[in-house]
Amino acid sequence: MGAPHNIKRYGEVWPEFRIRLGLEILNQLKDNVIISGGWAWHFMSEKGHAEYKHAHDHKDIDVFVKKENVAAVVMILQEEGFQKVWTRYDHLPSQENFRRYEKTVELENGKFHRITIDFFEKNDLETIEANGFTVVKPDVLLSFYRNIHSSDKCWAVMAATELLQKGIDPVGNPLLNKIPK
């Protein structure tokens, strides 16, 4: 589970390059992946929303890939310069067949940024379409915050939990990106 947020930092936004670079690779993968985690909440939020750090976790990109799409996804990642990175989780038994791919890019200012994609293999996920992307269905996505994802204190996660408890569909709801009081 995620650590409590420092509310004094509410209002901070993700750097534009992080969002741009994430969107570039997701646009190439979109026909072959199911987006999870912070990027799923991103696509379920209103178009044009502010990229608040505490609303959606954009530190990495979490995707699920159906078995029949694994080769295509790996080929796209390799063509785009991503490499498989070994993690401490690789040797553990998992139903999701976890893999991590990373790429380091040089930014305009001469600094470097690493893009991390956490890749889970799974065939039986309930999904929805959100802003042109296939994402994990919100109630299913919330269930992942017990084992796959850790940022359960993100505003979108908290808002979606509350909305679903009230029987309200969280997709497109402005509360997914609203600073809590």
> What's the N-to-C CA distance of the chain in angstroms?
21
Give how far the C-alpha of residue 140 lies from the chain's centroid of Cα atoms, to the nearest Å.
14
181 has a pLDDT exceeding 80: no
Dihedral sign of CA atoms 138, 15, 2, 74 in order: positive
The pTM assigned to this predicted structure is 0.91
pLDDT at residue 31 is higher than 70: yes
Query: Which range (22-26, 62-66, 120-124) has the least confidence?
Result: 120-124
Residue with tokens 């017990």: 146
Domains (range + CATH), the chain: 7-177 (3.10.450.620)
User: For residue 91, what is the enclosing H or E element?
Assistant: none
Q: Check if the beta carbon of residue 146 is closer than 8 Å to that of residue 56.
A: no
Q: What is the pLDDT of residue 155?
A: 87
Instruction: Label residue 167 exposed, middle or buried (CB < 10 Å: 0-12, 13-18, 19+).
Output: exposed
Q: What does the pLDDT look like over 59-94, one tens digit per residue?
A: 999 999 999 999 999 999 999 999 999 987 777 777
pLDDT value, residue 1: 39
* pLDDT band at residue 150 under the 50/70/90 scheme: low
